[in-house]
Amino acid sequence: MRTRLVDIATELFARRGIDGVSIAEIAVAAGASKANVMHHFGSKDGLYAACLDVIDAHLHAAVDAAIERGDLQSALEAWAAEYRDDVRLMAYGLLRLPERDGRWALSGPVTRMVDLLGGEDAITTVVDLLGVVTYREMAHGMKIERTVVVGDNSYANADHAKKYRSTAGSQESIDPELEARCMADLERDGYTIIENVFDAEVLAQIKAECEPLFEHPGRNAFEGYRTRRLYSPLDDTRVLDQIAEHPIALALLDQLFEPNYLLSQLQVIDIAPGEAAQAIHVDDSFYPCPRPRPPLGAATIVAIDEFTPDNGATRVIPGSHTWGERYPTDEETAAAIPAVMPAGSMLFFLGTTWHSGGENRSDAPRMAVTAQYCAPWCRPQESFLLSVSRERVASSSEHLQRLLGYSIHPPFMGFVHGMHPRRLLEGVTAG
């Protein structure tokens, strides 16, 4: 029974975290009583520690295999393929858990890996290697796993709305081959480019309607002193709706996040000649969850002007979405790749991918529109419920309404007076 309890607990902790699982749920799933669990482990922390001890043993075996083979990466990949739930708990155990017995959990096999490699950079190499292997398995299929239904916990997953059922995933379908190619790019590189999504007529309309709305250049070096930014333009123009809710973007987001993910921010960015390169960064770093991990956000950048190596094309570091808790080196930053693409194309990248705006060395400005999104339980960067009028929202598509926060993350995150937020739009005159 003890082994079964540890196996069940490892599976549930891996998918929901220690705070998302109760002793009672583990007992029900294992066909045991809560008293039986307490008898074996004393507490949930005790059971969690037992799960980590098993992972520790599996990792020790992987390191022993690496010594025999002389190939650490192959040994870790074999471990990851066999023990996927171990991998999902790796980020918690290695980076987040408090010390146990004066040491970090799982420090034993990690220390052995460092000793096996040797050299000044051994610890960085091990953490990066674990990050790559962990990410591949933890984000298998690039989908954050949804809550596991145990006992009566199906309540937490269900759409309980009676009148306004979720419309997530109901957008126009895209080419399956395109979707598969983009997902493969995202898993490997952390970004993908889809060329010629919007035609010249749409681009001209975007420029014509957004140009008069710009008011002032950037306020700091990160925004760019020679860069104009237009925040929250939805009340002033409808021309950007088609970017925020484009079927390609929504199809990829459907693969990454749970239903009813949110628009985190929408802005128009115009980089003028002479602008310096932006500081390299990741977009979801403000969510205090240790890396490596699946993304909590993602973004599109649509090139209104052609993106070239000279006019400030967004720079990306391929594969950096798998990194652990570290910054790019100067060499890695210098080697970042410009996302060169024709006007009307879309760059889609993960919130964990290191990137930045490029230096504009040309004699013309470079305009783009970026839409950022976040998981449905994460706080958006902009409070669209405040910045966009209800009249405007009432006249928008169900997709945009959902993205702006007029939606529910099961079972009831986002309600207003205990009811679905779309009820606030009832009787509102569309504007």
CATH 1.10.357.10 residue spans of the chain: 2-138
Q: Which CATH class is domain 2-138?
A: mainly alpha
Task: Give residue 421's pLDDT.
Answer: 92
Query: What is the sign, positive or negative, of the torsion defined by CA atoms of 193, 198, 199, 204?
Result: negative
**How would you write the pLDDT of the chain (431 residues) with one tens digit per residue?**
788 898 888 888 876 666 667 888 888 888 888 888 888 888 888 888 888 788 778 877 877 777 777 777 777 777 767 777 776 666 555 544 444 444 445 566 667 677 766 666 666 666 666 665 555 544 443 343 333 333 344 555 566 677 888 888 889 999 999 999 999 999 999 999 999 999 999 999 999 999 999 987 888 888 899 999 999 899 999 999 999 999 999 999 999 998 999 999 999 999 999 999 999 999 999 998 888 889 999 999 999 999 999 999 999 999 999 998 899 999 999 999 999 999 999 999 999 999 999 999 999 999 999 999 999 999 999 999 999 999 999 999 999 999 999 999 888 899 999 899 999 999 888 86
CB 346 within 8 A of CB 194: yes
Rounded alpha-carbon distances, angstroms, from residue 92 to 7, 13, 321, 351 = 17, 10, 18, 19
The DSSP call for residue 428 is P
Angle at 237 between CA 236 and CA 241, to 5 degrees: 130
Q: Which of 315, 371, 375, 350 is nearest to 186 (CA)?
A: 350
Q: Rg of the chain's alpha carbons, rounded to an integer? A: 24
Q: Give which of 189, 228, 188 is closest to 355, Cα–Cα.
A: 189
- The CATH number given to 176-425 is 2.60.120.620
pLDDT at 96: 47
CB 58 within 8 A of CB 83: yes
Written as six digits, the tokens of 171 are: 């957008």
Burial class (CB in 10 A: 0-12, 13-18, 19+), 110: buried
Q: β-strand 337-338 against 346-350: which pairing, if any?
A: unpaired
Q: Is 106 left (phi over 0), alpha (psi -120 to 50) or beta?
A: left
Residue 368, φ and ψ in degrees, nearest 5: -150, 160
pTM of the full predicted structure? 0.69
Specify the domain boundaries for CATH 2.60.120.620 within the chain.
Answer: 176-425
